[in-house]
Amino acid sequence: MKPTQLLAAFALCATALPVLAEEVVVYSARNEQLIKPLFDAYTRDTGVQIKFITDKEGPLMARLKAEGRNTPADVLLTVDAGNLWQASEEELLRPIQSKILTANVPAHLRDPGNEWFGLSVRARTLIYNTSKVKPADLSTYEDLANPKWKGRLCLRTSKKVYNQSLVAMMITEYGEDKTEDMVRGWVSNLATSPFPDDTKAMEAVAAGQCDVTLVNTYYYGRLMEKNPNLPLGIFWPNQNLKNKAAGVHVNISGAGVTRNAKNPAGAQKLIEWLSSDKAQNLFADANLEYPVNPKIAPDKTVAAWGGFKQNLINVKEAGSLQVQAVKLMDRAGYK
């Protein structure tokens, strides 16, 4: 190659390379296999690099807290509103003003103080054995405490935040005493000790160990995808109520910008992108969840489960009442 050609090639390369690719750092309690496709898509769309670390939400927030001013994290992405509320309480997040997010995310699925925003929705609903139970037998979450379900109920452990949030929302809806009676009723109806995860609970229902259980919708979707012949049906409870408890209990996976973010603008753009059309489909479909943006249609498998009324109490109550919920479950003997 002639020297001038070489020089030209070099100059071309030098200008084509970004001096320092913009970077956003994410701390995620949402598993790697679910978020990596999204982050890859974001990088393709915008050129922004995303560095992320995954861990359980507890240690993740402890880490964020310990790092303080010098944390590399720009975004905290977690599952369950309870965790986001806690992060806000611990002053780990900062409020942001975003017209895009206000437009895309319904009010009951984001922080009234604008520190966190839901990005996908999951419902915690009833799954039943189609050969043993008719939909007419089911009605509400509270009904599961009825003695007619004795020995026919399976539940996931109370240690999982999903159940803690469910009970927390119920305390908002029914008050603490009624909720405690309900949970005691559930415990006395258990067919076997609580399972470590929703999938095992559903498998127990399918195998006949019990007849009904409570799960997050995406676990149902995943299980049916793997094994379409299972005798499992999905039921939306609390549809005919007129009070605060009306509607299926929903929760979110969501994100917020960290208080000490080094790139808060980039972080905000990422979260806004995650709430936008393209990402919403990717985000939700990868895990068979509902898009938080009500204008976006869910994945067709999910849509086939039918529409339902969701409970409209702000999900932050799941966090603010979590401690009470956990203590309630301990008192009721729900392991």
Partner 1 sequence: MLSDNLDAPLKTPSAGVFVWPRFSGWMLLALLIAALVLVPVAVTFSSFSHTEGDTLAHLTEFVLPGLIVNTLWLVLGVGIAVSVLGVSLAWLVAMCEFPGRRLFDWALLLPLALPAYVTAFVAIGLLDFTGPLQTALREAFGPMQLPEIRSRGGVILVMSLALYPYVYLIAKNAFSTQGAIALEAAQSLGLSRTQGFFRVALPMARPWIAAGLMLALMETLADFGTMAIFNYDTFTTAIYKAWYSLFSLPAAAQLASILILFVLVAVVFEQRSRAKMRYGAVGRSAASRRIKLSPTMAALALLYASTVLAIAFIIPVTQLALWARDVMADDLDSRYWAFAWHSLLLAGMGALIVVGVSLLLAYAGRQRPTKTMMWAQRLATIGYAFPGAVLAVGLFIPVAWLDNWLIDTGRDWFGFEGHEVLKGTLLVMLLAYLVRFLAVGFGPIESGLHRITRNVDEAARNLGTGAAGLLTRVHLPMLRASLLTAAVFAFVDIMKEMPITLMTRPFGWDTLAVRVFEMTSEGEWERAALPSLAIVIAGIIPIILLTWRGAHSHG
Catalog residues that contact partner 1 under the rule CB under 8 A: 25, 31-33, 51-60, 62-63, 66-72, 86, 89, 157, 159, 161, 164, 192-200, 203-204, 206-207, 209, 219, 262, 322-323, 326-327, 330-331, 335
Closer to partner 1 by CB, 204 or 255: give it: 204
Q: Minimal distance in Å, beta carbon 165 to partner 1?
A: 11
Q: Minimal distance in Å, beta carbon 128 to partner 1?
A: 16
What is the C-alpha separation between 76 and 199, in angstroms, rounded? Answer: 27
Q: Is the dihedral of CA 238, 239, 240, 245 positive or negative?
A: positive
Q: Minimal distance in Å, beta carbon 117 to partner 1?
A: 22
Q: Minimal distance in Å, beta carbon 291 to partner 1?
A: 20
Per the DSSP assignment, residues forming a β-bridge with 222 are none
Closer to partner 1 by CB, 140 or 157: give it: 157
Closer to partner 1 by CB, 177 or 277: give it: 177
Q: Minimal distance in Å, beta carbon 113 to partner 1?
A: 18
Closer to partner 1 by CB, 186 or 195: give it: 195
Distances (CA, A) of 87 to 65, 76, 118, 319: 9, 9, 14, 10
CB atoms within 10 A of CB 239: 13
Q: Minimal distance in Å, beta carbon 194 to partner 1?
A: 6
Whether the CB-CB separation of 87 and 116 falls below 8 Å is answered with yes
Per the DSSP assignment, residues forming a β-bridge with 261 are none
Whether the CB-CB separation of 141 and 237 falls below 8 Å is answered with yes
Closer to partner 1 by CB, 209 or 276: give it: 209
Closer to partner 1 by CB, 82 or 247: give it: 82
Tell the burial category of 15 from Cβ atoms under 10 Å away from its Cβ (0-12, 13-18, 19+). exposed
Helix, strand, coil % (nearest 5) of the chain? 45, 20, 35
Amino acid at 122: R
Whether the CB-CB separation of 253 and 244 falls below 8 Å is answered with no
